[in-house]
Amino acid sequence: MDIPSAHLNLWKKHLGRVPDSVWEQTSLETLVLAENDLTDLPEQIGRLKHLRMLDIAHNRLPRLPDALGLLEGLTDFLYLHDNRLASLPDSFARLTRLRYLNIGENAFEVLPECISAMSGLVELRADQNHLTALPDSIGRLSRLRELHLRDNRLASVPHSLGALHELRHLDLRGNPLTQLPSALASLPHLEKLDLRWIPSLAPHDSFSQLEARGCLIYR
């Protein structure tokens, strides 16, 4: 008897839409649908209860179904970058076991509040969006080690970043920052702070404190 595979790779198959047969493979643990010109993702994705990794990057998705946020088995990677997303379903707050989320190259103007509830995140990538502010609640991501915010529209970042005690890498390149919170100096494990391409940012007292602890600051 054939045992169904737990992994399905449909990368760059020019599908246009996901075949219904995919949603019948309920034992899938990894699913790659990147680069398929997708403009819609149906609610049937909620049937894939065993998914640990999902890649739907490099498509043309303007929204995501609520059912995607119900896949509480997602633990490894969720790639959403290079789509047309400006929001996420509130149900994403239930993805508390997910460790890696990439929402880069989309149309977000604010970081969705539901991300702050994704307490298992270790790495968050939100590069190349239109973010003008971060919510104070981002400080709830207590396990976060990498935060990538390159090429947004941030003039400042919240004081609550100082609560990210596990943070190792903070990338703020290419934002119109004019100030940074002094709380950054209290991050005990910060190893790399990338501030390149920010001519509007003056030197900050916290820089010398961080560098004295061995943090590399690129500017």
Q: Is 152 left (phi over 0), alpha (psi -120 to 50) or beta?
A: beta
- What SS3 class is residue 70? helix
What's the rounded mean pLDDT across residues 113-126?
98
- Please check the confidence at residue 2 and state whether its pLDDT lies above 50: no
Residue with the bigger pLDDT between 41 and 2: it is: 41
Residue type, 212: A
1-114+121-130 folds as 3.80.10
Tell me: the pLDDT tens digits for 168-178?
999 999 999 99
CATH of domain 136-219: 3.80.10.10
Structural domain spans, the chain: 1-114+121-130, 136-219
DSSP letters of 14-36?
Answer: --SS--HHHHT-TT-SEEE--SS
Same fold, 1-114+121-130 and 136-219: yes
Asked if pLDDT for residue 1 goes beyond 80, the answer is: no
Whether pTM > 0.85 for this model: the answer is: yes
pLDDT over 90, % of the chain = 94
